[in-house]
Amino acid sequence: MANMPQAKYRKDYQSPSHTISNINLTFDLYDRMTTVSAISTVKQLKTETSLYLDGEGLQLKEIQISGENWSNYEELDAGLLIHQLPEEFELRIITEISPIDNTALEGLYKSGGAFCTQCEAEGFRRITYYMDRPDVLATFTTKVVADQVEYPYLLSNGNKIGEGSLANGRHWVQWQDPHPKPAYLFALVAGNFDVLRDVFTTKSGRNVDLEIFVDRGNLDRAPHAMTSLINSMKWDEERFGLEYDLDIYMVVAVDFFNMGAMENKGLNVFNSKYVLANEKTATDTDYLGIEAVIGHEYFHNWTGNRVTCRDWFQLSLKEGLTVFRDQEFSSDLGSRAVNRINNVRVVRGAQFAEDASPMSHPIRPEKVIEMNNFYTLTVYEKGSEVIRMIHTLLGESKFQMGMKLYFQRHDGTAATCEDFVAAMEDASGVDLEQFRLWYSQSGTPKLTVSSVFDAEHKTFSLSVSQQTPATPGQEEKQALHIPLDIELYDKHGAAIPLTSNGEPVHHVLDIKKPNQSFVFDGIDEAPIPSLLREFSAPVKLEYDYDDKALVFLMSHAKNDFARWDAGQMLLAKYLKENIARIADGGNFDMPLDVIDAFRGVLLSQSLEPAFIAEMISLPSFNEVTGWYDTVNIEAINFALKALKMNLAKELEDELTAIYHSLYQDKYLVEHEAIGMRALRNIALSYLAFTETGNQLVEQQYRSSNNMTDTIAAMTAANSAELECRDALMADYSEKWSHDGLVMDKWFALQGSNPCNDALAKLKLSMEHDAFSLKNPNRTRSLIGSFLNLNPVNFHSLSGEGYQFAGEILREMNESNPQVASRLIDPLLKFKKYDEIRQSMIKEELLQLQALDNLAKDLFEKVNKALEM
C-alpha cells in the first residue's frame, strides 16, 4: 500500500491546540457540486500558532483568516496545516463536495432522492476542513439552500431561525443549535417527505414539537416510532429525571444507512428499518427493535450529547451507558425476563465470540486504526454489562445518585470513562478501584465454582476461582471484581437465607481474588445453588450441576432468568455430549426425563407464553461454536437439527395443542399478544419437522393477516426445507418486490437457506429488481445472512462460499468499506476451523491484504487476523 494506515493510541491523547466556539455553515446543495462555506471563531489554547484541520476528499476553494486571503498552509494527506495564525481569528473555508458519488455513506450523501449526513465517528471531515474530534465543542448555525420543488424540507440541528425563497426556484432555511457540540453530532437533511407530527409536554411544562419524516406514501408506517419516542421521553423523565432540552425533536427515516440510527442533536437520522412499521410489513421483532432504537437515540441526548466523549477511545462512555438505558427502558415497558434473556443471548453468542477473535479488545480500546471498526459488541453490549454490574453493586438509588453527580460535574463537556466511574464511586461511597479493570482488560473471564455440603457442621461452602484467557496483545490477566449473584434452595424450592457466622450475607458475592471461598451456615440439607443469577457478570460459568438439579431449577428458581438459564445448561450438556458422539460416528440420543422437563414447561399453566417461548428456544449455531476452540461444523449442525427433530417428535402433542390454542384473529401490538405469537410460532418451527409440518406451515402462510405470522411460516419452511418453501417465497416476492425493506426478510431467507444449492439461489437473488449491493440493508440481509447464518453452505468444503465472500468483499472495499468491514467478521475467525477450511479462508484474506487500495477498515481487521 502506498500509505500504510497509522494506528492511534489512547495513551497519546493530547488536548486540542485551539478551540472553536462557534461555526456558521452554508450548504448550497447540488448532486455533483455542493458548496460548503464554513466560518468559525477560533482561539489558540496552547503555544502552537499552526492549526491542524481534518479533511478528506474535499476540493478546497478558499481560505481566509479574519477577512484576509491566506496562503500560508499545507495540504496534507488527510487534512490542512495552517501556519502563523494570530491568537484569535475568524476562519473562513470554502470547499466543494460531490454527494452523489459518495457511496461510502459517510459525510454528506444521497439516499434515494434526499440529501443526508452521517458524521460519527469521523465523517464531518468529508464535509469541510475542521477539528473533527469530539472534545472540540462549538455552537452550530447552519443555512441550507436547495431546489424548492425537489427538496421542500431543509433540516439541520437545533431551532429554525429563518427561511426564505430565492430566484431560480431555490429556497433556504437557517437553523441554530444553542447547545455546543462536537462535529460528529452535526446533521443536515434535505428532501421531500411526509411528516407525522405530535407534541410532548415535558415534566416542567415545556412543549416539544415531535416530527417524523418518512418517504412519501409511508405515513401509515410511522405511528409506532412516534409512540416509542413519546414513551422514551416519558421514561427518561420518570426513571432518570432527565428532560429534553430543545423545542423540537426530529427523526428522519432514510433507506441508505450504514448502521441502525444516529443521535444527531435534535435531528436523528434513522435507517428506515428502525422507523417504518405496520402490521402488514413489520414483524413483532421489528416493532420491538424500533422501540429500542428510538429509545436508544433519544437517551443519547443526555448520555452522549449533553455529556460527550473526550476521545473515541472513550466510546463506551456513551454507548455502553446508553445501551444499558435502552435495555432498562424495554424491560420496564415489556417483560424484564425476556429482555434479559435476549440481551444475554447476544453477549454469550456473539460478544464472547468477538472476545475470542483477533479483534478482541477491552470496552475502552487502547489502539485503533479505523474508529468505525470499534462500534462493536464489546464496546456496546459488554459495555452495557459493565454499567449493569455497577448498577448491581450500587443498587438503583445509589446508581441514580451517581448519574446526578456525573451530570453535575460533566454536563456540557467531553468526559472519560474514568470520570463516569469516579462519579459513581464518589456519589455512592462504594469502592470501584478494582472494578475499573473491566475497562482495560479484554477477554471473557471464566468462573469455576465448586461446592461442599458439610452435614455435621450444617455448612455449605462455595469455592470460586476466576481466570481470564490471554487475548491478542494482552498475555497477562489480573483478577477482576466480579459480582456473583446467588441463591440457595432447599428441596421444596424455598430460598434459604444466606448467613455466615450467624450474620446475614448479601446475595451478591464480591469475587475479587483468583480463588475465593464462601461458607454459609445454618444449612440443614444439601441445597441447590442458583449461580450467576440475572447473568450478574459477563463471564462463563462452570459448575458441575447434575440433571436433577437443573430440572429442579427450571421449575423452582425464583427468578425467570435463572429458570431459563438452567434449561439452557441442560440443553448445552446434551448438545455437547451428542456433538462428541456424532463426530465419532455415533447417533443422537437424549434421555426421556430431559425431554419431560421441557414437556413440563410446555404444560405449565403459570408461565407467560413469551417466557415459555424462550425456554424452548435452542441455542444458536453461533452460540454453540463458542463452546469450542476448534469447531466441527457438520457435527454441530447435525446435533442441533437432531435435537430439534427429537423434541418435535416427542412433544408433538403438546406443541400441536399450544399451536391451536394460541390462535388470535386480531393482530395487536401488545406485549401479551406478542408473547402468544412468539410461542405459537416457535411451536410451528418444531412442528415443521413433523408429518403435518408442510400443511400447517402453508396454511399459516395463506391465512396470515400480519407479517409476524407470514415470516414465521416462511422461516419454518426454510429451515425444515419443506415442499411448500419455493411457492411461498415466490408468492411473497411477487407481493413485495416493490418494497426493498419488506424484501429484506425474503433476502435473509435466501441467504440462510440450508438447501444444497443455496449459493446458486443466492446469486440469482442478487439479480432481483429489489436488490442492490449499494444498499447496506439489502447487502446485510442477503450476504450477511449467508456468511453468518448459513454455516453449512458458507463453510462448504468446495470453497465456493469463501470465494464468493472474497469477491463481495473486494467489491465492497471500494464502494462501502464500513459495510465490508462488518461482513468480514466471520472470516476473521478462520483459526477455529479445520486445516482445509483454514487455508481456504486465509487465501481470501491474503488476496484482500494484497489489494493496493485496501481501505483502512479492512486493512486493520485483515492484518490482525493474519498476524495471529
User: Which residues participate in catalysis according to the annotation?
Assistant: 297
Of the candidates 463, 488, 655, the residue with the CA atom closest to the CA atom of residue 562: 488
CA 98 to chain centre: 31
User: With respect to ligand B3K, which residue has the nearer C-beta, 383 or 619?
Assistant: 383
Write out the three cell numbers for 393: 453493586
Q: How far is the CB of 579 from ligand B3K (least distance, A)?
A: 36
Q: How far is the CB of 173 from ligand B3K (least distance, A)?
A: 25
Write out the three cell numbers for 689: 419437522
Binds ligand B3K (CB under 6 A): choice among 313, 375, 406, 747: 375
Which span (147-155, 256-264, 650-658, 821-829) binds ligand B3K, by CB under 6 A? 256-264
Q: How far is the CB of 818 from ligand B3K (least distance, A)?
A: 6
Interface size with ligand B3K, residues (CB under 6 A)? 12
Binding mask 333-372 for ligand B3K (x = CB under 6 A): ---------------------------------------x
Q: How far is the CB of 731 from ligand B3K (least distance, A)?
A: 36
Enumerate residues 6+ apart whose C-beta is below 8 A from 18: 42, 43, 44, 45, 46, 48, 51, 131
User: With respect to ligand B3K, which residue has the nearer C-beta, 370 or 709?
Assistant: 370
User: With respect to ligand B3K, which residue has the nearer C-beta, 133 or 533?
Assistant: 133
Q: How far is the CB of 406 from Zn ion (least distance, A)?
A: 17
User: With respect to ligand B3K, which residue has the nearer C-beta, 223 or 260?
Assistant: 260
Question: Could you say whether residue 560 binds ligand B3K (CB under 6 A)?
Answer: no
Enumerate residues 6+ apart whose C-beta is below 8 A from 637: 621, 791, 792
Contact 271, 254 (CB under 8 A): yes
Binds ligand B3K (CB under 6 A): choice among 319, 425, 608, 654: 319
Q: How far is the CB of 120 from ligand B3K (least distance, A)?
A: 4
User: With respect to ligand B3K, which residue has the nearer C-beta, 189 or 618?
Assistant: 189
Which span (211-219, 255-263, 568-576, 680-688) binds ligand B3K, by CB under 6 A? 255-263
Residues 623-682 that bind ligand B3K (CB under 6 A): none
Element containing residue 33 per DSSP (H, E): none
Q: How far is the CB of 573 from Zn ion (least distance, A)?
A: 37
Contact 213, 253 (CB under 8 A): yes
Write out the three cell numbers for 371: 474508529
* Count, residues in the chain: 868
Residues 260-319 that bind Zn ion (CB under 5 A): 319
Q: How far is the CB of 16 from Zn ion (least distance, A)?
A: 24
Q: How far is the CB of 315 from ligand B3K (least distance, A)?
A: 8
3-state secondary structure of 385: helix
Question: Could you say whether residue 259 binds ligand B3K (CB under 6 A)?
Answer: yes
Partner from ligand B3K, Zn ion, none contacting 262, C-beta within 5 to 8 A by type: ligand B3K
User: With respect to Zn ion, which residue has the nearer C-beta, 308 or 700?
Assistant: 308
Which span (259-267, 560-568, 749-757, 836-844) binds ligand B3K, by CB under 6 A? 259-267
User: With respect to ligand B3K, which residue has the nearer C-beta, 326 or 744?
Assistant: 326
Residues 310-349 that bind Zn ion (CB under 5 A): 319, 322
Question: Could you say whether residue 296 binds ligand B3K (CB under 6 A)?
Answer: yes
User: With respect to ligand B3K, which residue has the nearer C-beta, 172 or 274?
Assistant: 274
Q: What is the DSSP letter of 574?
A: H
Q: How far is the CB of 159 from Zn ion (least distance, A)?
A: 24
Q: How far is the CB of 765 from ligand B3K (least distance, A)?
A: 27
3-state secondary structure of 531: strand
Contact 236, 298 (CB under 8 A): yes
Question: Could you say whether residue 132 binds ligand B3K (CB under 6 A)?
Answer: no
Any idea which residue has 464502494 for its cell?
815
Binds ligand B3K (CB under 6 A): choice among 120, 381, 560, 654: 120
Q: Which long-range contacts (CB under 8 A, 24 or more apart) does 795-803 make?
A: 795/633, 795/833, 795/837, 796/759, 797/836, 797/837, 799/840, 800/759, 801/759, 802/827, 802/837, 802/840, 802/841, 802/843, 802/844, 803/844
User: With respect to ligand B3K, which residue has the nearer C-beta, 140 or 518?
Assistant: 140
For 12, phi then psi, to 5°, come to: -90, 10
Residues 694-723 that bind Zn ion (CB under 5 A): none
Of the candidates 791, 831, 469, 868, the residue with the CA atom closest to the CA atom of residue 630: 831
3-state secondary structure of 307: strand
User: With respect to ligand B3K, which residue has the nearer C-beta, 262 or 683?
Assistant: 262
> What would the DSSP string read from start to end of 631-661?
--HHHHHHHHHHHHHHHHHHTHHHHHHHHHH
Judged on CB neighbours under 10 Å (0-12, 13-18, 19+), 50 is middle
Burial pattern 519-540, b for ≥16 Cβ within 10 A else e, equals: bbbebeebbbbbbbbbbbbbbb
Binds ligand B3K (CB under 6 A): choice among 233, 242, 262, 862: 262
CA distance 573 to 544: 10
Contact 602, 654 (CB under 8 A): yes
Partner from ligand B3K, Zn ion, none contacting 375, C-beta within 5 to 8 A by type: ligand B3K
Question: Could you say whether residue 263 binds ligand B3K (CB under 6 A)?
Answer: yes
Pairing of strands 308-309, 414-415: parallel
Partner from ligand B3K, Zn ion, none contacting 120, C-beta within 5 to 8 A by type: ligand B3K
Binds ligand B3K (CB under 6 A): choice among 25, 91, 93, 121: 121
CB atoms within 10 A of CB 418: 14
User: With respect to ligand B3K, which residue has the nearer C-beta, 94 or 262?
Assistant: 262
Partner from Zn ion, ligand B3K, none contacting 121, C-beta within 5 to 8 A by type: ligand B3K
3-state secondary structure of 697: helix
* Positions in the binding site for Zn ion (CB under 5 A): 319, 322
* Positions in the binding site for ligand B3K (CB under 6 A): 120-121, 259, 261-263, 296-297, 300, 319, 372, 375
